[in-house]
Structure 1
Amino acid sequence: MNAPDLTDPAAVASAVATAAGEALPSPAELTAGPAQPGSPHVASAFAGGARVDLDGVPGRIVVLVGQDLVDALAASPLGGLDLAAACQPALDAAARQVGARAHAAEVVDLSAEGFDVTAAVGEEFTTIPLLGIGIDAAVLVAASTLAGARAPLPEDAEPVAVESEAHEPFVPTFVPVPRGLELLHGVDMEVTVELGRTRMAVRDLLALAPGAVLELDRAAGSPADLLVNGRLIARGEVVVIDEDFGLRVTEIVDAAAAV
């Protein structure tokens, strides 16, 4: 992606939204629509969101998503997944476009009584819709973030107002589309391989020293467990690949057995 013209807030806003759209879980490619002045009505078409404060640039960035992504996260066979964690890669990518690093994302509760989207952003903001099958998401960028934008950061680091032109408030029309777990394809998950478990008294734990042997609750040759975010999803045998350990999956555990 080419660096935006930092003197043009609309170009910066578009670059921020494009970066977020590329990292946001979605079955369809997301394209940034035109940047528009923020409206208190923008949240009405979405079901959830996440926001981050920025380090290096003032302000905040918010991503709003539709009911389909919220439902897919809640219904995941891996257990309820956190919306903030699902949106974190998109918010990280968005922050890099203004030369900033994103703090940990936090969920924005759009259903809260008296919810005020301007208060959620913290100040006046610009809205950029993300278009896929419909208006699938929106990115809100604080005015101070656009004004203070710096040259984009590399991935491994962490609009000019026209007074004569009137703008209608941005009120997106959401088109619900049935979708599955493909929405989660871009979400990072913690995967753990567990060889076995044991219970120990504190005095025994404190007595551990190099060379101590722990007896696990599993016989030699038994399959190891594969856990995703702490939930058992498969079993397999431990193998060695180029001097690194790996797991050859031999069994997928159904949802009932994983509980």
Structure 2
Amino acid sequence: MSNLTPQDLPAYSRSLLRIPVPVRVVLAQKRQPLGAVVELAPGAILQFDKPCEEMLEVHIGGRPVALGEAVKVGDKFGLRITSLVSPAERFEKVEPRRGLRNTNADKADA
């Protein structure tokens, strides 16, 4: 793991670290027939295949970045991070879209 801190980054990069991003903890997911969803009512119990002891996934920007276990923080819910997804899995390479042209290069050629 890198010992890089925000202070080690250039100023323009540090400003990006202040951008708020949504952090989502995924408890469990399942697919239900629409008819079953329409019939949901107060008191209904949804059962999932995931064991209660299994780690919860932390998603940022729709991508899994960590695993953790639920903890109580005062009277609130918290998550103790137990492992991180490898950086190669967390970040995807940004590539130019096909069909987009470099208009600056086109102007230089004219």
* Shorter-chain TM band: 0.5 to 0.7
Structure 1: gaps of 5 or more residues: 1-25, 29-68, 70-180
Determine helix, strand or coil for the equivalent of 2:25.
strand
Matched, 1:194 2:34: no
The structure whose Rg is larger is 1
- Larger relative contact order, structure 1 or 2 (CA cutoff 8 Å, min sep 6): 1
Equivalent residue, structure 2, for 1:212: 44
Q: Go from structure 1 to structure 2 and tell me whether the alpha carbon gap of 1:210 and 1:222 turns closer, same or farther (over 3 Å shift).
A: same
1:70-149 to 2 correspondence within 5 Å? none
Determine helix, strand or coil for the equivalent of 2:78.
strand
CA contact (8 A) 1:27 1:183 kept: no
- Post-superposition CA distance 1:49-91 (Å, at most 9, x none): xxxxxxxxxxxxxxxxxxxx6xxxxxxxxxxxxxxxxxxxxxx
Shift of the alpha carbon at 1:255? Answer: 4.2
1:155-166 to 2 correspondence within 5 Å? none
- Post-superposition CA distance 1:23-51 (Å, at most 9, x none): xxx843xxxxxxxxxxxxxxxxxxxxxxx
Determine helix, strand or coil for the equivalent of 1:239.
strand
Matched, 1:236 2:63: no
CA contact (8 A) 1:236 1:247 kept: yes
Structure 2: gaps of 5 or more residues: 1-8, 93-110
Shift >3 Å, 4+ stretches: 255-259
CA contact (8 A) 1:226 1:234 kept: yes
Structure 2 CA distance for aligned equivalents of residues 208 and 256 of structure 1: 40
CA contact (8 A) 1:239 1:246 kept: yes
Equivalent residue, structure 2, for 1:62: none
Q: How many equivalent pairs are there?
A: 83
Equivalent residue, structure 2, for 1:13: none
Q: Provide the identity percentage.
A: 33
RMSD: 2.2
Determine helix, strand or coil for the equivalent of 2:42.
coil
